[in-house]
Amino acid sequence: MSDFNIDVGAIPMTQSDGGYSLPITYPFQPRKVAVSETAKIGTETYDEKYFQRKGQELYYTGPNLVNQNGEIERAPYGGSSSKLRQESYQFIAGITDVNDRRAFLNILADRGMYEGGKPSRSMVDSKDLEAVGKYLLTMDRYGTTGLAGLGLFREEYPGGQASGGPSVRVTAREDVEKVLRDESLRLLGRPLTAREAREAVQFVQQQQVQRAGSAQQAPALSTAAATAVQAGREGEVAVQGAARAAEVLERLIGR
């Protein structure tokens, strides 16, 4: 993004504290980091248990956020509502080119972060900070900084929900994942990998957006999840189905 300074005014008033932290047991996905990051082991929250080596590459699985250069840059954005509000303000103020800022907020609006609305004229209104806060909490879940995680965010959340038409609500990622987990165990006999799960969630949500856009009723979540699980894995599904049939037959014979 550009580096053109503008004055966005004083930091807004903070809200009362609330719970915005991920649980300590949250299973962060490994993020590739520079080998030089091992120098941080033993400092602050950079426990050795969070670092994994795979051949010549180093991965980090801790709660701190990794930037686009593979450096563990900072602590999570969340923690309390007041902290998140300050982080949101600082992040949006850091996008110093007004056109870049507007483009970024439009990306959030296009993905429903404004609850069907659109960015304010000032771009630092309460609704802007709320939308940016949702984005930053997503970055905490990714374990990446706001700049590093933008591409993944655009992959995970389908566009097409900008104002100017009815707001399209898609099922939350966490709820889709729960159903996908059940369907993958039933159809494949195994859980989906992290990448497969991400692609399956995106498929289900995109189906919901497309059906809404064409005024068609979206299929039941379990049906959409089953379709997503089977897509490209028909052979696995057939093998698992045969295995289940064999188990049933064995039980019947054994009676």
pLDDT tens-digit profile, the chain (255 residues) = 433 333 444 444 434 444 577 777 788 889 999 999 988 888 766 788 899 999 989 999 999 999 999 999 999 998 888 899 999 999 999 999 999 999 999 999 988 888 768 999 999 999 999 999 999 999 998 999 999 999 888 887 877 655 444 445 678 888 888 899 998 988 888 888 888 888 888 778 777 766 655 455 667 888 888 888 888 888 888 887 777 677 766 766 765
- Residues forming beta bridges with residue 74, ordered by sequence position: 65
Measured in whole angstroms, the distance separating CA 192 from the mean position of its chain's CA atoms is 16
- pTM higher than the cut 0.75: no
3-state secondary structure 128-165: HHHHHHHHHHHHHHHCECCCCCHHHHHHHCCCCCCCCC
- Residues forming beta bridges with residue 65, ordered by sequence position: 74
Report the run of H or E that residue 222 belongs to, with start and end: helix 221-230
**pLDDT tens, residue by residue, 63-96:** 999 999 999 999 999 888 889 999 999 999 999 9
**pLDDT tens, residue by residue, 92-125:** 999 999 999 999 999 999 888 887 689 999 999 9
Q: Can you read off the two tokens belonging to residue 10?
A: 């004083």
Give the C-alpha separation, 208 to 206, whole Å. Answer: 5
